[in-house]
Amino acid sequence: MATEFRLPELGENIEFGKVTSVMVSVGDSITKDQSVIEVETDKAALEVPSSVSGTVTEIRVKEGDNVKVGAVVLVVEAGGAAPKPAAPAAAKAEEPAAPEVKQPEPPAPKPEPPQPVEEAAAPVAPAETAPAAPAETVPVEATERQLTAAAVAASPSVRRLAREIGVDVNQVPGTGKGGRIMPEDVKAYARRMNVDAGGVASPRAPVGDAAGFPLPDFARWGVIERRAMSTVRRRTAERLGHAWSQIPHVTQFDKADVTGLEQLRKQYARQVEAAGGKLTVTAILAKVVAAALRKFPQFNSTLDFAHDEIIYKQYCHIGIAVDTDRGLLVPVLRDVDTKNLTQVCVELSQLAERARTKKTTLDEMQGGCFTISNLGGIGGTAFTPIVNEPEVAILGVSRNAVEPVFINGEFQPRTMLPLSLSYDHRVIDGADGARFLRWLCEAIENPFLVFLEG
């Protein structure tokens, strides 16, 4: 009996995987849980095990293919050999030979009725688009769409928003005056579509304004080179484009005096290194943020428009942005609030190394509550990070610098750390954003505050 093995779920909101290796051939005998292909997603590279046993009779994917979750990867003959399917196929090929002799009689009368039908349809078709008979339904649908479009009340900006996020504006119910479609209607409809489809519908969904404006021929002005987008880059573009268009971002800026913290960090660095980790500003901030999320639970939430609810998480998993040769990846530190700083440092070092060597698992890339993106090692004084949906906030960290600070009537040299907090204004008010970031700064400057209030 032939069984189809389909690409299983690869993780939350992952619809496609790029095949990087096919590990079996037609005729191979495979067992359940044996790895048959290797795929790469935007989050990890992993081997996919078979859910069936038997002999491979057909392989429907090849290296380089973008395969959708649920698509057939292999056809396996359970408990049989590869030649078995060939026998029935040969038998079926011989059976039609006899009917072919009888078929000339029925076709004789059949061609006659279609001819008058085509002649009758011919004068009608040219009046609309003049396609062949099979395309007669196309002009009707097009006409319906034109009529619907004419009746749709939506401003040019709303129509552009719909195009950018891949929504047919004609299908969106309007809640404005006289049924007018508002921006919120388009966004709500897009969210419902994503919920129904289990995520993004296509890996080739339009991103930003590029969907509506074709590119010019750049080769007219000089030599160009085209390179295929990596899976990680494509998915990053889609996710960030969607987050930017869906989430009303606000970014709050502040600075923390880390003069004392830097002294402590250098003092205890060797102790942490002996345990296998590295005492970094990012690791320290992860612990401080974990305490802040307990005090400000709205920052540890997710907006669920489909059910008109806000989901508050009782756990604390912190995503850490890691720069890799494949692009930006965000592995997740689990239960940061329940671990000591040394444990966090060790786990963070291990996570970052696995991300850079393509060994991160899907589980390590999911379930984050809040993200930290530290660009201090590269430079810059501030930036506006984009919220890592479905989270509602992200902390950006820039390079610290020694600055003169007026303290007790005089200027003193202090090491100041610039922080940028971006958040979803639908869930978090500006005052709460300012309070959260100020609390972070005070906790960094006075770690005892974490014990008092965290």
Residue with tokens 């085209």: 226
Q: CA triplet 310, 315, 320: central angle to 5 degrees?
A: 95
H helices of 275-321, where?
A: 281-295
Closest to 283 measured CA to CA, from 237, 366, 191, 351: 351
| Composition of the chain by helix, strand, coil, percent to 5 | 40, 20, 40
**β strands within 271-409, DSSP E:** 301-304, 309-312, 318-320, 322-324, 327-329, 332-333, 370-374, 393-397, 401-407
Residue 89 vs residues 4, 86, 93, 164, 327: alpha-carbon distances, Å: 18, 5, 6, 48, 48
Q: Please give the positions annotated as active site.
A: 425
- What does the alpha-carbon distance between residue 387 and residue 269 come to, in Å, rounded to a whole number? 31
- What does the alpha-carbon distance between residue 39 and residue 184 come to, in Å, rounded to a whole number? 37
Q: What is the dihedral of CA 3, 9, 15, 21, to 10 degrees?
A: -70
Residue with tokens 């500006």: 430
- What does the alpha-carbon distance between residue 282 and residue 24 come to, in Å, rounded to a whole number? 43
CA atoms within 13 A on the CB side of 119: 6
